């Protein structure tokens, strides 16, 4: 009934927990396709050992080609009616597949969107903060109802990643959707899927535990091309809402512009990251480019931040104050690298 797909690269300390959380599912009619993406540690050995004792596990081993290629390889071999994606360093609650399949089957849905947990670990003793992302349970009666309400799902980070969703595999194949060869490949896949989706359901229950712990994970790296990526993503969002005929909808556009400007703050922080190799002068030049653009100024004037903290953080952008934006970026980087708990708390309450 369900093909669960996990790309795995150098996650020997996490992959067993992920797989065992699936083996504990109350829903048993699934296949688990794990792609060892050329790991140089014992990831492949762990997967092989678990596969020997569970016929539902199909393990693939290939040269390192990145998570998009690994997911696509598994998709090419998937047999289930539905597809569920999981990251190798995360885990899921036991009733996840049962509840999501029941919702999909009872309402003939093309997409089920569930809540999820963000578990941010700090220190070495297992302490962590937990943030829950969810929206009230609802089956959208029409495509237009889903589109009009999608801004609320985006606002709770529920429409970005593939791992809190159950996809109809027939629809994936009919549209020819695959993961694009880029970092942060999951968002464009989801956008391709939801662009003309018709039957969508949301469950307020959270099942998936997204773990923030590994310093080498894709979401925690300094990236020299982050700003370009965020610009591209913003273009995708504008195009999506234009396609939906909602580029004049006030609530939707406020979300889109607030999303952009909040991520622009992240780009400023990225430039100020201790691992960034640019000179101070180059950092200032990049920040000036970011905050002075027409796109940034439009966004900062349309966005309505939800907290006083975020209102204050946007002031350097609104004022086009490079020095103040640089100091802000340095401060955020300091907090991020020295107090993970505080950083996670501030981010959750932005």
pLDDT tens column, 232-278: 999 999 999 999 999 999 999 999 999 999 999 999 999 999 999 99
Q: What is the mean pLDDT of residues 133-152?
A: 98
d(CA 39, CA 42): 7
d(CA 112, CA 50): 29
pTM: 0.93
pLDDT digits (tens, 9 = 90+) for 25-82: 999 999 999 999 999 999 999 999 999 999 999 999 999 999 999 999 999 999 999 9
Mean pLDDT score of the chain, rounded to an integer? 94
Distances (CA, A) of 318 to 45, 218, 325, 327, 332: 53, 30, 10, 15, 18
Sorting pLDDT into bands at 50, 70 and 90, what band is 214? low
pLDDT digits (tens, 9 = 90+) for 255-265: 999 999 999 99
Identify the pLDDT of residue 218: 47
299 close to 264: Cβ distance less than 8 angstroms: yes
pLDDT digits (tens, 9 = 90+) for 310-344: 999 999 999 999 999 999 999 999 998 887 777 77
pLDDT digits (tens, 9 = 90+) for 103-140: 999 999 999 999 999 999 887 777 888 999 999 999 99
Q: What is the mean pLDDT of residues 16-27?
A: 98
Q: Which of 3-12, 36-45, 189-198, 209-218 has the lowest mean pLDDT?
A: 209-218
Distances (CA, A) of 21 to 18, 116, 343: 5, 15, 28
């Amino acid at each position: 009934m369900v093909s669960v797909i996990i790309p795995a690269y150098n996650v020997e300390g996490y992959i067993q927990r992920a797989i065992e959380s699936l083996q504990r599912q109350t829903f048993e009619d699934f296949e688990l396709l794990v792609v060892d993406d050329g790991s140089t540690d014992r990831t492949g050995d762990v997967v092989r050992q678990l596969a020997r004792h569970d016929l539902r596990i199909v393990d693939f081993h290939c040269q390192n080609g990145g998570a998009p290629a690994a997911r696509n390889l598994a998709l090419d071999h998937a047999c289930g009616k539905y597809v569920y994606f999981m990251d190798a360093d995360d885990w899921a609650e036991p009733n996840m597949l049962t509840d999501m399949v029941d919702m999909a089957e009872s309402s003939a849905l093309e997409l089920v969107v569930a809540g999820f947990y963000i578990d941010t670990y700090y220190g070495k003793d297992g302490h962590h903060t937990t943030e829950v992302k969810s929206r009230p349970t609802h089956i959208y009666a029409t495509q237009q109802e889903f589109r009009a309400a999608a801004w609320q799902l985006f606002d709770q980070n529920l429409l970005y990643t593939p791992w809190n969703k159950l996809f109809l595999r027939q629809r994936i194949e009919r549209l020819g959707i695959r993961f694009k060869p880029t970092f942060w490949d999951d968002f464009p896949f989801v956008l391709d899927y939801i662009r003309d989706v018709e039957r969508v359901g949301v469950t307020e229950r959270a099942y998936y535990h997204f773990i923030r712990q590994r310093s080498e994970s894709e979401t925690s790296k300094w990236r020299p091309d982050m700003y370009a990526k965020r610009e591209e993503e913003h273009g995708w969002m504008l195009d999506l809402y234009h396609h939906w005929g909602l580029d004049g909808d006030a609530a939707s556009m406020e979300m889109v512009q607030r999303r952009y400007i909040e991520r622009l703050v992240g780009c400023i922080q990225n430039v100020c990251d201790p691992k960034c190799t640019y000179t101070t002068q180059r950092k200032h030049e990049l920040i000036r480019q970011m905050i002075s653009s027409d796109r940034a100024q439009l966004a900062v004037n349309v966005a309505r931040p939800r907290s006083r903290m975020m209102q204050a953080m946007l002031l350097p952008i609104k004022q086009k104050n490079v020095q103040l934006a640089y100091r802000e970026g340095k401060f955020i980087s300091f907090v991020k690298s020295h107090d993970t708990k505080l950083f996670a708390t501030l981010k959750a309450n932005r």
